[in-house]
Structures are given as structure tokens and as C-alpha cells.
């Protein structure tokens, strides 16, 4: 019996237990009658034992059926019925001496106490009735105990004007005195109740005194008191009596009719309602007056002849003879069901395979392979169940998998019955996906042992890596290409430094050319850092190299373009010398802001390598991908926004100077280089954030595009200059006045110089612009000098 009140402290002295308890398997000392071993009470059906014959035979009938038919172990607690409801509750005595049933309770004299805890128990008719009675008249009335129908008999006699003395001699004392009086041919009036063995053993020897018929309206007025107005004690007699009271003044107890016939009650704890089978039995338990009378008669017979206890023998005899009666109390055993009558144990929760073994919840004591509380249905225990399902899944889907076990049918195969493994990246930039059953057949790995039919095992697949390994041919090819570009950039850097004093290199601001070449080195590093599995160093190095490379290349072009723009498109700046240092300051401002953004990014939100799991597009399942990620997109967005502003400004300036002067041909190359940088950067953004391609394709596309754009920009900005390293463009204009002959000679030299300039312009050399010289007379030398001064100013600024 499942009862949460059955704690280790119940029925022990620590909780104040005083009643006598006989648990399952209890032993008693035959010589003294004391309990040697209390036995087992936990989990048993605990019934209350009253100790009088009708209670005893009813208790034994109940115990026999519970033990032999229903299969519940039974314990007994010897106690009165006064506190039955409290012992069946979850407080007071129910926490120390919890019980489940009292089959016979005389409620009339105890109802006040019983009602205090009646909400946790159920009271119903046991079937037979009981009644108190008064024997032949005599002025002395012998009673058993004061607590039995207190004041009722005294009030009847007082209110019917029958004077009497009342003696309370106890149960055994009363019966012994009555028997002795009868043996001495005497007469006595006494109070007793029936049915009882006293009346069976002395059948026909007593006459019940009849009082006015019990009127329910008068019976209910009984107050349970007597003598409150006073009475006189009579002289004592020669037998042991506890109290003797004499008729005295009128009582306030108005009852004046005979004892009513009382339906005896059974009381059982509501805890039994949790067991449908047991609750049905207790509700149906009913014995008639004839059943009790028959058992009392059999008990009298067994007392004379049987060697076993007469009360038990009488109850056992009734059970054997009344099969048709008590079978209606007991429900047919339910069909055995795996969820109600079978328990299971799961082993191997931390292993690859889980093993589920089964046992009956209540096995037959003589054969554990058979059930004890059910019949039919699941006729035998299922075989041990092997599964790849997790313990959490088994506990949460009991209905599903127990259906597989009881139907002896395997479920249809689906994706939950197989798994797959994904290999590491190979040098071919691919990963092998291998599928296998979680629980394969021992003789055929291609068949599952826990499912059948349904979806077949998928074929193995090959998927692309989420990064390009350093050992892959794609990375090796890019590395070789990058090495060639790095070598070219190194050669170009050396040439610029070597020929930095040549006019065409010097006029092109060679420090900015060197910075542009350094940016090319960073872009080459960007191509190399695009391979390999993400690491903290790679995650930080990729944005740093790409950002600095782009800024240095485009920043150099912006500074050069802005210098030309101010000279040729701002009139106020034509007579102002814009030095290389001023152009470097512009470059450093652009680079400094970009570097600050990068530094803040690395400090505040460092990009770490993370593993992201998502559905694969190549097979049905999830795949882990490694990527660099920051917690927020604010810093990448800020860096791109700044580069966008710089790019827009640089393209605008380059567009404005594309035809600054026919002699200043570097402006066209700067515009072309700016366009290449803008187009290449835009395509890279699309490939990085919008396109969906394999990692190898993305890496190749990005690396090749970066390297080609780098080569193209360096070619446009440096090769034309290197091809004209030996071209000389001197400008000699004298402002002093000479003789007419000298002026003629210098005019001829100027004409030759103009012709030479025209030839160099056609050959593509980068020359300073010259002013047109018109000589009309020797008096025009002053105008020539002024124009020459303007040309010299522009030339020195370039």
C-alpha cells in the first residue's frame, strides 16, 4: 500500500506510540504473550483490531481476503475505535500510528470525537447492526464501563420512575458476575450489547427488558450525562466494582425510550482511494446480520474442538462457504499491462547502447516470472530491450517505446536511428561525411537492429571545407602567386628608392609611392591570411591587413590627387607651394583615423574564432563551421563607413583631375587606379557578405582579385614613370633684359625648347606646364618675364 505517512519513525517510541502493533511476520512469546518481533509494517495494509468477537471475525474475514485473494500483506494495531478517524488522517495520531481500516465502529457514543478528523476518511455501513440491552429487573443494575452509552440507561430508568443502583464492573467482570449469579440460581439486571459471544454461549438464558420503543425524536435528545443534579451512594457489595451510583434527583438528560438499533460502521482512510482495486474492495465489504450470527455460532463450536484460534477458524470457514458473496467485493484481476504492472531498469546511460530490463511490479511470491496482481494481457515479461535512444528520451517517451516492446514490432527507420561523422579538412579542401546505424546488426552493418523499413541509410557524402587548409593546392597556388607579386613589389620599391632623385620620380612624390607599395605588401598579406582554420591571430590579422592595405594604397592616391586638384582647380592655391610633407599629413590623417577604428575594435570587441552549427546544404543533417566573429557589427560597419567616405572623396578628386593638363599625364593614371581600387573593393564586399560559395572558391576569388588589383594599380602608377626615367625637362626662363641680338638668340632657343617639349609630350613624359611665349619686339620682354615667373612657380610646386 502506497502511504506517505509510513515514515521510519511510525510505530516507534520516538513518536509516542503506545498501541500494540502486529506487523507482517511478527512473532509472539507463547508463554507471556509479549511481542518478540514487531514484524514489517511498512507497505502493508494496517487494520485496527477491536478485541471483541464480532470485530475479530470481521477483521479476520477482511485480512484473509486481502492477503490470499488480493495479495496485500496485513498488519494489525490493537486499539479502540474512538480515535479511528485521527489515526487515518495526516495529523496527530495519523503521523505515529497510521491505519487504513476499522471494520466495526460503534459510532453513537463516539461520534463527537470521530467527527474531528472525518474529512480524511470514509464512513459506511458494515452491514450488520448492534444494540445495547438491559437484563431482568433488579434494583442493582450492573454495567461494563461508564463510557459505553454514557448516561443513557440511567436516564431511561430515572425518567420512567424506576429507582436503581448502577455498578460498573468492566467487560470481563460483568460477564463473570452474571454467569456466577446464574449458577447460584440468582437474578441480576445488567447492561450488555449484541451481537456478542456472551449471548451465543448463554443462548436462551437472558430476557431483554423492553422499554418504550425508541422514538428517533427522543433518542436524538440524549445528552450523554447523568447525575448532574445529585444522587446518593448505596452501601458496597462484596464484589469489585469501580463506581456505584444511586437514583437521586431528576436528570437533565431527557431520553426515556429504549436503546435504538445501531448500524455499525466501517471507517477507512481516503488514502486507499489512490488504489482503485483496493478502494473497490473496501467499498463492497459488507456482512449481514446472518453472516455475523453464523460466524459467532461457528466460533462457539471451534472454541470447544479446534486447536487453532476460534475467531480465525470461524472467519476462514465463512470465507470458504460464501465464495459467491465475497467474489462480488473483488474486481476481476486486470489485464497485465506494461505501464501499470511492469517496472523497468535502464542501464548504460553513459554508454553507447542503453539496456532496458523488465520485472513485474508485484511478482508471484512462488515464481517471480509471473504477475501477482493481474491476469492475461501481457502474459510474459518482455525480453531485454537494446536501444540507442538516450535515457532522457526513454524517460520522456515511455508510451512510444513500450509500444514497440509489447507489439514485438520494430519502428520504421528514420534519421534518428543513424548518425554521421564528419572528417577533418583534407588537402583537397573537402570533408568526408560517413553515415552508420547507431545500433547495427551484428552480421550486417548496413542493417539496423532496432528498426526496419522506412528510410534507408544515406550514402556517404563529400562536402566542402569551411576554410582553405594551408596544405591545399588552392592555397599553395595563391601562395606562389603572392610570392611573385611580393617580389615585384619589392623590386618596384627598390627602384623608387634608387631613382628617387630623378625628376620624374621626385615630381611624383616618391614617399607617397613608397607608402602605396607598402600598402601593396599588406594586401598580399591579406591574400595569405585568408587560408587556414580560424585562430585568434588569424581573426585579428585578416581585418588589420586588409584595412591597412586598402587605406595605404587608396590614401596615397587620394593625397596625390588632392595635391594636383588644389594646384589646378583652386586659383588661390596656384601661387602656394604644396610640399610633399603637406601631402603626407593628409595621408597620415586618413591612416590615423582608420588605425584608431581598428585599435578600438581589437581592444573592445576582439574577433574570436567560433564554431557555428547549422543545417547542411549537401546532406540531411547539421554541420559545424568555424568562423571569426565579434559580438557586434559596429566596428566593421564603422571601418567600412570611413573607407566609403574616403573612397567617395578620392574618386571625386581623381575624376576632377583626369584632364588637368596635357603635360601632367599622371592624373589620368591616378584616376584609373582609383577606379580599379573602388571596383575591386566593391566586388570584395559582395563576395564576402552576399555571395554563397564554397570556402575554396571564395578564397581563390578574393585572393586573385586582391593580387590582380594590386598589380594593376602599381603598374599604372609606376611603370610609365620607370619607362621615362632618363627624360629631362629643364625650364629656363630669364627675366633680365638683353640686347636685341641676345633676345633673338634666346628666342630661337625658346623655340627649340618648345619644339622639344612638344616632342616629349607626344612621347608621354610627365612634364611641368609651360606658358605660351609670344615675342613681338624687344619691348615685349617684360611680359615674357612675367609669364616665365608664373610657369616657374607652378613647376616648383609640382
Q: Answer for the pair 84, 48: CB distance below 8 angstroms, yes or no.
A: yes
* Nine-digit cell string for 532: 587556414
pLDDT band at 480 (very low <50, low <70, confident <90, very high): very high
- The string of pLDDT tens digits covering residues 499-524 is 887 877 777 778 888 888 898 899 89
Q: Burial level of 178, CB count in 10 A (0-12/13-18/19+)?
A: buried
- Give the end-to-end CA distance of the chain in Å, rounded to a whole number: 107
- The string of pLDDT tens digits covering residues 374-385 is 888 888 898 899
Nearest C-alpha neighbor of 511 from the set 525, 498, 497: 497
Percent of the chain residues past pLDDT 70, beyond the cut: 81
The number of helix segments (H) and strand segments (E) in the chain equals 23, 24
The total of other beta-carbon atoms located within 10 Å of residue 428's CB is 15
> CA separation (Å) from 473 to 378, 429, 433, 584, 625?
65, 9, 21, 41, 21
Beta bridge partners of 96: none
pLDDT at 305: 76
Quick check: 564 pLDDT over 80?
no
Q: What stretches of 455-472 show up as alpha helix (H) in DSSP?
A: none
Q: Answer for the pair 547, 646: CB distance below 8 angstroms, yes or no.
A: no
Query: Which region, left, alpha or beta, applies to residue 343 given φ > 0 means left and ψ of -120 to 50 means alpha?
Result: beta
- The string of pLDDT tens digits covering residues 645-700 is 877 877 777 677 666 554 445 666 777 777 777 787 778 777 777 667 788 888 88
Quick check: 608 pLDDT over 50?
yes
pLDDT at 375: 85
Cβ contacts of 358 within 8 Å, gap of 6 or more: 338, 342, 343, 344, 381, 382, 384, 385, 405
* Nine-digit cell string for 336: 497485465
Task: Name the packing angle between helices 634-656 and 536-569 (round to 10°).
Answer: 30
Q: Which of 13-22, 340-349, 577-586, 613-622 has the weakest average pLDDT?
A: 577-586
* Nine-digit cell string for 299: 466460533
**Which residue do the cell numbers 586598402 mark?**
550
**Which residue do the cell numbers 513485474 mark?**
360
Q: Answer for the pair 2, 275: CB distance below 8 angstroms, yes or no.
A: yes
**Rg of the Cα trace of the chain?**
58
Supply the DSSP symbol for 284: H
Quick check: 357 pLDDT over 90?
yes
* 13-127+264-326 placed in CATH 3.40.190.10: yes
pLDDT at 58: 92
How far apart, in whole angstroms, are the C-alpha atoms of residue 642 and residue 656?
22
pLDDT at 47: 92
Q: Answer for the pair 145, 171: CB distance below 8 angstroms, yes or no.
A: yes
pLDDT band at 346 (very low <50, low <70, confident <90, very high): very high
Q: Answer for the pair 505, 499: CB distance below 8 angstroms, yes or no.
A: yes
Nearest C-alpha neighbor of 439 from the set 451, 457, 422: 451
Q: Which residue has the higher pLDDT, 719 or 566?
A: 719
Q: Is the pTM of this model over 0.95?
A: no
How far apart, in whole angstroms, are the C-alpha atoms of residue 560 and residue 576?
16
Q: Answer for the pair 532, 469: CB distance below 8 angstroms, yes or no.
A: yes
Quick check: 16 pLDDT over 80?
no
Residue 79, CA atoms < 13 Å, CB-side half-sphere: 29
DSSP annotation string for 107-155: -TTTHHHHGGGGGGEEEEEEEEEEEEEE-S--SEEEES-TTSSTTHHHH
Q: What stretches of 623-739 show up as alpha helix (H) in DSSP?
A: 634-656, 666-689, 695-723
Q: Which of 246-260, 426-440, 443-457, 685-699 has the weakest average pLDDT?
A: 246-260
Compute the 3-state secondary structure of the chain and give helix, strand, coil in percent, each to the nearest 5.
Answer: 45, 15, 40
What is the rounded average pLDDT for all residues in the chain? 78
pLDDT band at 82 (very low <50, low <70, confident <90, very high): confident
The total of other beta-carbon atoms located within 10 Å of residue 631's CB is 10
Quick check: 741 pLDDT over 50?
no
Nearest C-alpha neighbor of 267 from the set 411, 393, 414, 104: 104
Query: Which region, left, alpha or beta, applies to residue 385 given φ > 0 means left and ψ of -120 to 50 means alpha?
Result: beta
pLDDT band at 131 (very low <50, low <70, confident <90, very high): low
Quick check: 702 pLDDT over 80?
yes
Q: Which of 449-458, 537-546, 758-767 has the weakest average pLDDT?
A: 758-767
Q: Which of 588-597, 611-620, 673-682, 787-796 has the weakest average pLDDT?
A: 787-796
Verify cis geometry, omega within 30 degrees of 0, for the bond prior to 189.
no
pLDDT at 150: 80
Beta bridge partners of 363: 371
Are 13-127+264-326 and 473-723 equal in CATH topology? no
The alpha carbon of residue 233 and the mean position of all alpha carbons in its chain are separated, in whole angstroms, by 79
How far apart, in whole angstroms, are the C-alpha atoms of residue 187 and residue 9?
52
Q: Which of 71-80, 174-183, 716-725 has the weakest average pLDDT?
A: 716-725
Quick check: 576 pLDDT over 80?
no
Quick check: 358 pLDDT over 90?
yes
Most confident of 154-158, 699-703, 762-766, 767-771: 699-703
How far apart, in whole angstroms, are the C-alpha atoms of residue 429 and residue 694?
10
DSSP annotation string for 588-631: HHHHHHHHHHHHHHHHHS--EEEEEEEE-SSSSSEEEEEEEE-S
Quick check: 444 pLDDT over 80?
yes
Q: Which of 228-242, 259-273, 702-716 has the weakest average pLDDT?
A: 228-242
What's the sign of the alpha-carbon dihedral 651, 653, 659, 663? negative
Q: Which residue has the higher pLDDT, 609 or 506?
A: 609
Q: Answer for the pair 83, 93: CB distance below 8 angstroms, yes or no.
A: yes
Domain 473-723, CATH class in plain words: mainly alpha
Cβ contacts of 416 within 8 Å, gap of 6 or more: none
pLDDT band at 237 (very low <50, low <70, confident <90, very high): very low
How far apart, in whole angstroms, are the C-alpha atoms of residue 60 and residue 287?
12
Cβ contacts of 259 within 8 Å, gap of 6 or more: 131, 132, 133, 149, 152, 211, 214
What's the sign of the alpha-carbon dihedral 779, 782, 784, 785? positive
How far apart, in whole angstroms, are the C-alpha atoms of residue 719 and residue 517?
13
pLDDT at 246: 47
pLDDT at 698: 84
The alpha carbon of residue 3 and the mean position of all alpha carbons in its chain are separated, in whole angstroms, by 31
The domain limits of the chain are 13-127+264-326, 129-262, 342-409, 418-464, 473-723, 740-797
Most confident of 32-41, 201-210, 214-223, 433-442: 433-442
- The string of pLDDT tens digits covering residues 295-332 is 988 888 888 776 788 889 999 999 999 998 998 898 88
Amino acid at each position: 500500500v502506497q502511504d506517505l505517512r509510513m515514515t521510519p519513525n511510525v510505530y516507534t517510541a520516538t513518536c509516542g506510540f503506545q498501541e500494540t502493533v502486529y506487523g507482517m511476520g511478527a512473532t509472539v512469546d507463547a508463554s507471556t504473550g509479549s511481542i518478540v518481533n514487531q514484524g514489517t509494517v511498512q507497505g502493508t495494509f494496517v487494520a485496527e483490531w477491536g478485541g471483541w468477537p464480532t470485530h475479530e471475525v470481521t477483521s479476520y474475514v477482511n485480512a484473509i481476503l486481502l492477503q490470499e485473494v488480493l495479495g496485500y500483506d496485513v498488519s494489525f494495531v490493537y486499539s479502540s475505535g474512538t480515535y479511528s478517524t485521527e489515526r487515518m488522517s495526516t495529523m496527530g495520531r495519523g503521523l505515529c500510528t497510521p491505519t487504513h481500516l476499522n471494520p466495526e465502529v460503534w459510532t453513537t457514543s463516539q461520534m463527537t470525537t470521530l467527527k474531528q478528523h472525518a474529512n480524511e476518511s470514509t464512513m459506511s455501513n458494515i452491514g450488520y447492526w448492534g444494540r445495547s440491552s438491559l437484563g431482568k429487573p433488579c434494583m442493582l443494575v450492573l454495567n461494563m464501563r461508564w463510557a459505553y452509552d454514557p448516561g443513557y440507561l440511567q436516564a431511561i430508568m430515572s425518567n420512567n420512575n424506576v429507582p436503581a443502583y448502577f455498578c460498573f464492573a468492566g467487560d470481563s467482570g460483568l460477564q463473570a458476575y452474571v454467569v456466577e449469579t446464574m449458577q447460584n440460581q440468582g437474578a441480576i439486571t445488567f447492561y450488555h450489547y449484541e451481537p456478542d459471544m456472551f449471548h451465543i454461549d448463554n443462548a436462551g438464558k437472558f430476557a431483554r427488558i423492553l422499554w418504550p420503543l425508541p422514538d428517533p425524536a427522543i433518542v436524538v435528545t440524549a445528552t450523554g450525562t447523568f447525575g448532574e443534579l445529585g444522587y446518593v451512594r448505596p452501601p458496597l457489595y462484596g464484589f469489585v466494582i469501580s463506581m456505584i451510583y444511586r437514583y437521586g434527583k431528576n436528570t437533565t438528560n431527557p431520553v426515556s425510550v429504549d436503546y435504538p438499533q445501531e448500524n455499525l460502521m466501517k471507517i477507512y482512510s481516503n488514502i486507499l482511494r489512490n488504489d482503485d482495486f483496493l478502494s473497490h474492495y473496501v467499498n463492497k465489504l459488507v456482512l449481514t446480520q446472518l453472516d455475523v450470527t453464523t460466524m459467532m455460532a461457528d466460533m462457539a463450536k471451534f472454541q470447544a474442538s479446534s486447536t487453532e484460534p476460534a475467531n480465525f477458524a470461524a472467519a476462514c470457514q465463512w470465507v470458504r462457504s460464501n465464495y459467491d458473496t465475497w467474489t462480488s467485493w473483488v474486481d476481476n484481476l486486470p489485464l497485465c499491462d506494461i505501464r501499470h504492472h511492469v517496472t523497468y531498469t535502464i542501464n548504460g546511460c553513459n554508454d553507447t547502447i542503453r539496456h532496458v530490463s523488465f520485472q513485474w511490479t508485484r511478482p508471484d511470491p512462488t515464481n517471480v516470472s509471473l504477475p501477482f496482481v493481474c491476469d492475461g494481457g501481457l502474459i510474459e515479461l518482455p525480453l531485454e530491450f537494446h536501444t540507442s535512444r538516450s535515457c532522457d528520451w526513454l524517460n520522456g517517451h515511455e508510451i512510444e517505446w513500450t509500444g514497440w516492446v509489447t507489439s514485438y514490432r520494430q519502428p520504421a527507420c528514420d534519421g534518428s536511428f543513424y548518425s554521421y561523422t564528419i572528417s577533418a579538412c583534407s588537402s583537397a579542401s573537402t570533408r568526408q561525411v560517413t553515415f552508420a546505424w547507431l545500433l547495427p546488426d551484428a552480421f550486417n552493418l548496413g542493417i539496423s537492429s532496432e528498426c526496419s523499413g522506412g528510410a534507408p541509410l544515406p550514402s556517404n557524402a563529400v562536402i566542402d571545407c569551411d576554410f582553405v587548409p594551408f596544405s591545399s593546392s588552392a592555397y599553395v597556388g595563391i601562395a606562389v602567386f603572392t610570392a611573385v607579386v611580393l617580389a615585384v613589389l619589392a623590386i618596384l620599391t627598390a627602384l623608387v628608392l634608387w631613382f628617387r632623385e630623378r625628376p620624374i620620380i621626385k615630381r611624383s612624390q616618391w614617399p607617397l609611392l613608397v607608402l602605396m607599395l607598402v600598402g601593396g605588401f599588406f594586401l598580399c598579406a591579406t591574400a595569405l591570411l585568408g587560408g587556414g582554420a580560424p585562430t585568434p591571430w588569424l581573426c585579428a590579422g585578416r581585418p588589420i591587413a586588409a584595412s591597412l592595405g586598402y587605406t595605404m594604397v587608396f590614401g596615397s592616391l587620394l593625397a596625390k590627387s588632392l595635391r594636383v586638384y588644389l594646384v589646378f582647380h583652386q586659383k588661390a592655391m596656384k601661387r602656394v607651394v604644396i610640399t610633399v610633407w603637406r601631402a603626407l599629413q593628409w595621408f597620415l590623417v586618413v591612416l590615423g583615423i582608420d588605425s584608431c577604428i581598428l585599435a578600438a575594435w581589437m581592444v573592445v570587441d576582439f574577433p574570436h574564432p567560433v564554431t557555428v552549427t547549422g543545417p547542411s546544404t549537401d546532406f540531411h543533417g547539421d554541420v559545424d563551421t568555424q568562423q571569426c566573429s565579434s559580438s557586434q557589427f559596429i566596428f566593421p560597419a564603422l571601418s567600412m563607413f570611413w573607407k566609403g567616405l574616403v573612397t567617395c572623396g578620392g574618386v571625386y578628386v581623381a575624376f576632377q583631375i583626369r584632364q588637368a593638363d596635357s603635360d601632367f599625364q599622371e592624373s589620368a593614371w591616378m584616376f584609373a587606379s582609383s577606379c580599379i581600387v573602388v571596383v575591386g573593393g566593391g566586388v570584395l564586399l559582395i563576395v564576402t557578405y552576399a555571395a554563397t560559395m564554397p570556402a575554396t572558391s571564395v578564397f581563390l576569388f578574393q585572393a586573385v582579385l586582391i593580387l590582380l588589383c594590386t598589380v594593376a594599380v602599381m603598374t599604372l602608377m609606376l611603370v610609365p614613370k620607370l619607362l621615362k626615367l632618363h627624360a629631362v625637362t629643364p625650364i629656363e626662363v630669364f627675366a633680365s633684359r638683353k640686347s636685341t641680338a641676345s633676345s633673338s638668340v634666346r628666342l630661337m632657343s625658346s623655340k627649340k625648347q618648345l619644339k622639344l617639349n612638344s616632342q616629349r609630350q607626344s612621347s608621354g613624359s610627365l612634364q611641368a606646364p609651360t606658358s605660351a611665349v609670344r615675342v613681338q619686339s624687344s619691348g615685349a620682354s617684360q611680359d615674357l618675364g612675367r609669364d616665365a615667373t608664373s610657369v616657374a612657380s607652378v613647376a616648383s610646386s609640382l
